[in-house]
Structure 1
Amino acid sequence: MSALPGQSDNLTDGPRRSYQVPPDELEGAVRETLSHQVALARPLGVDPAGQAIRRANRIRRRRTAAGLAVAAVVTVLLSAGMAQLGAETGRDGAPIVVIGDPDPSGRPMPTASVPGAVPSPAPSLAALGSEILVNADGRRLVLSDVGPAERAQLLPGGGGWLVVSTQKTAGRSLWMVQNDGLVQVLLAGAGPIVLAPDSRQVAWRDGGDLLVAGVVGGQLIGAARTAAPAGAVPVRFVGDSVLVRPDPADAGHTLWRPAAGPLTGAVEQKTLNFYGGLPDGRLVGQISTGTGRTCLAALDPTRLNPVETGCGPQLSQDGAGEISADGRWLLVNGLVGKARQALLIDLRRLGSNPTAVSAGPPITGAVVWTDESHAAYLDPAGELVRVDVGRVRAGIPASPAAVSGVPAGDRPILVAGF
């Protein structure tokens, strides 16, 4: 088939298409293509934001689980009556409690170093100086993440210590130091801090209030607070109650029972210091007679009234002293003639003007009884004094011995354990 004259089709020659593209048009086409590719959102092989969100969700779930576990413990403790801290004792304002992170995987683990011999697993006497624990055998444990300490006490089960810092400009801190080296801050910026004998409760001053809380799982739980007079400080625990001194410059104490409500205004006006309790529940303290002389007294633990008094020994008023676990012996500071000494007093003779014998140089800090007839303390030079009741009664006072491994200028404090 042939084309008509003057016409063309796809089989015949006709006007040809030009393939010549000017450079400016080509450049424009390339730019347009690239702009479309940039505007197009393509999936990434790795999604950092998604990974961060998923990791945060996992951490939140772990923390929620830890919180639920703590809440369960609180419920058990409250139902058992350990710390029935009613809502009526609370006041507005959050306490200065710093809760330990239940997920420690994101922070470095502090470590403990043990120069010299490995400590014996059996509990023994120890001294804590700034960052050093030293036991009676001379073995040392260095806690690199704990600052200068004022007091330390074993955790239940011997898994570590509660450590109270010295007074600083911002206040005191309370640390929990575990045997594996982990250090957690339980309190920061607090006023005076006292620990229950079993380390399961802590009381402290925060501004114008006194607070008490339980120590469970590395956290402070069930905190209750009460308004307190200016200057009032917690002194020690008496069961679940807190012995409070309203004015450290004057005689007198009162008891705060958190489960019963706020701190009352009733103050016993004679007591100066307390040294512990007797097996029958009575407290032993130092009272003022109003004549410039002080006496020992056994006091009712509910009203703090003296029920038995002994005025033989001449006691110091610094408050240093402690009763043996069986309630028979009191190691306390006093005077022998004009010399300041540690005195050993037999409390079985409390009501018949007890006599005192010199036990060694004066006490500074805590007294630790290792059993019914052996105690230890530090003298003013920071040296360790170990008292044997039998030898002291035989007229042989204890002599101090230097604590090895403590840097010059450090003042160790005694704790039982490690």
Structure 2
Amino acid sequence: MRETLSHQVAVPRPLSPDPAGQAIRRANRIRRRRTTGGLALAAVATVLVSTVMAQLGDDSGGQGTPIVVIGDPNPSARPIPSAAPAPAPSPGTSLDLLVDGTLISATGGRLELSGVGPAEAAHLLPGGGGWLVVGAPTAAGRSLWVAQRDGLVQVLLAGAGAIVVAPDGRQVAWRDGTGLLVAGVVGTQLIGPVRTSLPADAEPVRFVGDSVLVRLDPDRAGHALWRPGAGQLTVGVDRTTLSIYGALPDGRLVGQVAAGDTSGTCLAVLDPKRDLKRVSTGCGPQLSEDGVGGISADGRWLLVNGRVGKAARALLVDLQRFGPDMTAVPAGPPATGAIAWTTDSDATYVDGAGQLVRVDVGRVRAGNQAQAVPAPDVQPGNRPVVVTGS
């Protein structure tokens, strides 16, 4: 009996399952896996940032390399959008506004954009998930910010020259030293930058489809188009185009050109596929040379700065009556900055006093000029910015 019991004690028995031990071992495995994955992601991000910065920093002309931010460095620091809706921006205004660092939606909701500062332009991102904000020019250059509706605000570019955003909000072009760069906008990142060289005084002014329109000299007439990925910028034969106001539905452009035999200017329809060759010309209205203007989405109406006698006014031009004897109807005070067409017959802009002007085509054609109304929360020295693309 003693020998039998001693044999039973000597034989090892399988241990019963230990849930706590299993959980600890599983947590250790997950921790090791996450640590390895995090180091790998950090290495990839470092290589990616280095590659992008090298591409952007090449031949910068001494202005410094623009900053490209990847990811969300500190999501816990996001400001919280105001839950209570504020008063609507203005009766009849159906677009977002940027007022002194605060985005005010058409419904009255407000979102503080911490750190953005004075802005030059703002554009809605695709899908309405946020905004791209172009900072006002400073001694250090311009900046580009992305602001999301959940309160995340990040800088995408800093120290850049002129910055333009595509109408659909999916691309950005900017001058960096002696170069022009174009990159795609995906979330809070700029991807796939492409670069070309620019003449000394040239700068991007707008997108035309997937191409970038470049004004060759701010003090002289002449533009060129550059299509990223199709080679370097080639300066064409155009030396008469002063401003481009936008595109018609068929892709042709409407711009202001020198009249030639007089000191005045005219409107012209231009073919972007043939070095901005004139297709037709329409003269008559007295146009300002400040380049401010915008075309309705259906291509019917042009709202542009000009003069009626000696008075500076915004003019409404019917592009369906384009020709040698075309006329313009005074629409309101002169515009500053972007003109936002919210429908095919309604446009909103900011005048020289920082007030909002809403143009109703039907009322203007009936002889009732648009009136300026105060924008919300505007303090002396500040100017609201209309959000385009909304």
Q: Please report the TM-score for the alignment, with normalisation by the length of structure 1.
A: 0.76
When residues 404 and 106 of structure 1 are mapped into structure 2, their CA distance, relative to the original with a 3 A threshold, is closer
**AA aligned opposite 1:174:** L
* CA distance 1:417–1:248, change in 2 (3 Å): closer
Give, in whole Å, the separation in 2 of the partners of 1:294 and 1:323: 18
Q: For this pair of structures, how many residues does the alignment match? A: 348
Is the aligned partner of 1:60 residue 2:48?
A: no
What is residue 237 of structure 1 aligned with on the other side?
207
Q: Check conservation: 1:110, 1:145, Cα contact below 8 A.
A: no
User: What is the rounded CA distance, in whole Å, between the counterparts of 1:206 and 1:272 in structure 2?
Assistant: 23
Contact 2:174 2:182 (8 Å CA) reproduced: yes
Counterparts in 2 of 1:390 and 1:155: CA distance versus 1, 3 Å: same
Q: Deviations over 1:190-249 (max 9, x none)?
A: 000001111111111101111111111311111111111111100111111110011111
The residue correspondences of 1:337-416 to structure 2 (distance < 5 A) are 337-416=309-388
Alpha carbons of structure 1 residues 107 and 207: separation in structure 2 relative to 1, 3 Å = farther
Structure 2 residue runs without a partner (length 5+)? 1-30, 50-54
TM-score, normalised relative to structure 2 = 0.82
Contact 1:91 1:225 in 2 (8 A): no
1:273 pairs with one of 221, 229, 243: 243
Q: Does 1:196 align with 2:166?
A: yes
Give 3-state SS (helix, strand or coil) of 2:77's partner: coil
Contact 1:126 1:417 (C-alpha < 8 Å) held by counterparts: no
CA 255–288 in structure 1, closer or farther in 2 if over 3 Å, else same: same
Could you say if the C-alpha distance between residues 200 and 384 of structure 1 is closer, same or farther in structure 2, counting changes exceeding 3 Å?
same
1:167 paired with 2:167, answer no
Structure 1 unaligned spans of 5+: 1-51, 71-88
Look up the equivalent residue of 2:292 and give its one-letter code: A
Higher alpha-carbon deviation: 365-374 or 259-268: 259-268
Displacement of 1:336: 0.7
Asked whether the 8 Å contact 2:221–2:241 carries over to 1, the reply is: yes
Matched residue SS, 2:235: coil
1:137-181 CA deviation, whole Å, 9 max, x = no partner?
Answer: 665433223211100000010000000000011100000000011
- 1:326 maps to what in 2? 298
Calculate the aligned-residue CA RMSD, in Å.
3.0
Shift of 1:66: 7.2
Q: Which residues in structure 2 correspond to 1:8-407 (within 5 Å)? A: 57=36, 59-63=38-42, 92-93=58-59, 96-105=65-74, 108-113=77-82, 116-117=85-86, 124-135=94-105, 140-290=110-260, 291-302=262-273, 303-407=275-379
Contact 2:70 2:188 in 1 (8 A): no
**Distance between the aligned counterparts of 2:383 and 2:344, measured in 1?**
27
For 1:315 and 1:96, the matched residues in 2 are separated by 39
Q: Is the 8 A contact 2:168 2:389 kept in 1?
A: no
Q: Tell me the alpha carbon deviations over residues 16-50 of structure 1, each in whole angstroms, 9 at most, x when there is no partner.
A: xxxxxxxxxxxxxxxxxxxxxxxxxxxxxxxxxxx
Q: For the structure 1 residues 104 and 338, does the alpha-carbon distance in structure 2 shift closer, same or farther, using more than 3 Å as the test?
A: same
Q: Deviations over 1:82-114 (max 9, x none)?
A: xxxxxxx99945893433242535762244346
Q: Distance in 2 between matches of 1:347 and 1:173?
A: 36
Bigger-Rg structure (1/2): 1
Distance 2:57 2:156 in 1: 20
For residues 43-93 of structure 1, the C-alpha deviation after alignment (integer angstroms, 9 at most, x for no partner) is xxxxxxxxx9998755333446779999xxxxxxxxxxxxxxxxxx99945
Report the Cα distance in structure 2 between the residues aligned to 1:67 and 1:405, rounded to whole angstroms.
Answer: 42
The question of whether the paired residues in 1 share the 8 Å contact of 2:87 and 2:108 is answered with no
Once the two structures are superposed, residues 343-365 of structure 1 have per-residue CA deviations (whole angstroms, 9 ceiling, x without a partner) of 00000011242111110111111
Write the letter of the residue equivalent to 2:71: P
Call closer, same or farther: CA 1:69–1:118 in 2, change over 3 Å: farther
Matches of 1:221 and 1:185 in 2, distance apart? 14
Counterparts of 1:353 and 1:134, CA distance in 2: 42
What percentage of residue pairs aligned between the two structures are identical?
60
Q: Is the 8 A contact 2:338 2:388 kept in 1?
A: no
